[in-house]
Structure 1
Amino acid sequence: MIFYDCSTAPSPRRARMFIAEKGLEIETREISMVKGEQLSPEFLAVNPGATIPVLVTDSGQMLNENIGIAAYLEAMCPEPPLMGTTPDEKGAILNWNAISEFQGGHSIAEALRNGNPHMKGRALPGPNDFEQIPELAKRGMQRVHLYFDKLNTQLEGREFVASDTFSLADITSFVFVDFARVLKVRVEDTHPHLKRWYETIKARPSAQL
């Protein structure tokens, strides 16, 4: 297998944490988004969608979505389970993974890509250019704060986001909460349950990578 990573971006960090939690060693190739390497002919030959992460399996299949990468690795290496073992766990983990993607990840991307002058003309990832929409930046910031509120409520009296054990939902939620710093949004004492959980996940070895 070959894992295409970018050490500065949140999406590949999710896959990187999942791989580390599984204890897997996979050949890794760094793609610098700062240098625009995701748009190079060499990388486009791997993933025409120009997004990272990418996992190329031993059979040559190209997976370029975090949920696909996670499902593949979970099936290949079931222990430790990160996507649940019972119907209730599996449903809850994927449910909260989707919540964190849409309400967390999408809102951060909305605010960053439409509000950062350095991303002018690059309002969406991928090979095509899209102009920024300032109103989406404002909406994105509002949605980020609502997402923090939602997670704080969910984590009251809970150690993990979706189940009794660490899971994919914690990885996705942690990465987006941490990445919100690019918008100068950080976990504060106003969200005590979120802060307790955040500090716990931040201390895991996989979060240091």
Structure 2
Amino acid sequence: MRPASVALDLGGILLTDPTLGKFWVDAAGGDESAGERAKELWFRELREPFERGELLEDRVWDELGAVTYSSPASIRQRFLGNFLELPKGIAALRACQASGLKVVLATNHYSPWVPLWRERFDWFSLISEVVCSSDVRARKPESAFYSAALSACGPSQSRPYFVDDLVENVDAASMAGFEGLLGDGTGAWAQVVVGRGYAQ
């Protein structure tokens, strides 16, 4: 029997990840050294506690602003502005919803950004529920995150799908009771979730 729901990651599946590419150098006004310091600070000290809801958002931008010599407000604006749509991933999301699947967003992000995404992206209305690491106080691949995601998916006679672009997150999802699928922004994962008749 086909699962009744699918949990989708955000970055790398539906939207680009703003922490990849030239973001850090651009945030530092072209200063590669300052950009590298900011990137190291984000990944080493800020990202995980922020995504778990243990660190206030203002502190994140203040600390990144201090190492990039940029205003915290400008870094925040640039960061949020660099979540860009992955068109084929969005098409796959639309196909999931049109096929009758309940769509749950399962993301290591900060829940107060959800209203911004709802306002910016029309397809966000197709998402039934959102599970954010900052609300759960746990992030993928931690088991508590998947427990919350399973609850959001609701009861089913089959294991819900869980689509993510990181192997460790997919493996943890499979161990937690999902049918884990490794995906990306091409939307090819919808051939499994929706059916082999899905055309990209």
- Give me the TM-score of the superposition, normalised by structure 1: 0.34
Q: Which has the higher contact order (CA 8 A, sep 6+)?
A: 2
Higher helix proportion: 1
- Give me the TM-score of the superposition, normalised by structure 2: 0.35
